[in-house]
Structure 1
Amino acid sequence: MGLSKSEKRNKIRRRIRKVSFGTPERPRLSVFRSNKEIYAQIIDDTTGKTLVAASSRDKDLSASKGTKSEIASEVGKVLAKKAQSAGVEAVAFDRGGYQYHGRVKSLADGAREGGLKF
């Protein structure tokens, strides 16, 4: 019997995390996607601290209407704005074992539109 869907994602996630590492100059942009919401945070792995975080559950975004992909794009733009105010310009993208498609891609495109460099 094969692996379950979550076990496959965690296997891919561990493989990605071997390579993707956040430094103070270029922190890691980590994405988590549930069925309804999307969460993103910028992490400095050397200190283990979250520098900036944004999600679709934030008060200013929870009232917004649209498809899940449109909301993910808005989360990316808000995250980029917060990151620039914190002094972060470039990030290493960590898709968290999800395919670079749909909401994950929309979040990345929104972050790029907001001014983050991948």
Structure 2
Amino acid sequence: MNRLEAKRRARVARKKRVRKKIRGTSQRPRLTVYKSLKHIYAQIIDDATGRTLVAASTVGRDLRGDLKATGNIEAARAVGLAIGRKALARDIDRVVFDRNGYLYHGKVKALAEAAREAGLRF
């Protein structure tokens, strides 16, 4: 197994371990993060109904024109602010944070802190 495959398997194992404990409800939905090398995505999901309530990403129209680059910490910060504003507009103020197996630093940390600044509590 090469290095990249080992890294991917470790992330998937962390993801499974965390998802055993984290569950989003209608009162407190789950804020999940996915990142690729070029983009970062965030969704707020109600696991009871299996529906995505709010989503924001660097691919979306509202952020695409404002960013110089889409795969850096500034882009993650913009996505965090956007998801926070959209959630508050839908009367969602408390969420459970699901880092999706990623380590809590860099882009993931920037997105979480920006979402907190926008008014989300977790």
TM range (shorter): over 0.9
TM-score (norm 2): 0.91
Structure-1 separation of matches of 2:18 and 2:103: 12
Alignment correspondent of 1:8: 10
- TM-aligned CA deviation for residue 34 of structure 1: 0.5
Structure 2: which 5+ residue stretches go unaligned? none
For 1:66-105, list aligned pairs within 5 A. 68-105=72-109
- TM-aligned CA deviation for residue 61 of structure 1: 1.2
- TM-aligned CA deviation for residue 59 of structure 1: 1.5
Task: Determine what percentage of the aligned residue pairs are the same residue.
Answer: 50
Alignment correspondent of 1:113: 117
Report the secondary structure of 2:17's partner residue.
Answer: helix
Report the secondary structure of 2:120's partner residue.
Answer: coil
Report the secondary structure of 2:26's partner residue.
Answer: coil
Amino acid at match of 1:34: S
Aligned residues: 118
Amino acid at match of 2:92: V
Alignment correspondent of 1:61: 63
CA RMSD of aligned residues (A): 1.5
Structure 1: which 5+ residue stretches go unaligned? none
Structure-1 separation of matches of 2:59 and 2:30: 21
Deviating 4+ runs (over 6 angstroms)? none
- TM-aligned CA deviation for residue 60 of structure 1: 2.3
- TM-aligned CA deviation for residue 58 of structure 1: 1.1
- TM-aligned CA deviation for residue 8 of structure 1: 0.8
Residues 13-71 of structure 1, C-alpha deviation per residue, up to 9 Å, x if partnerless?
00000011001110000000101100000000011010000001111211212571011
TM-score (norm 1): 0.94
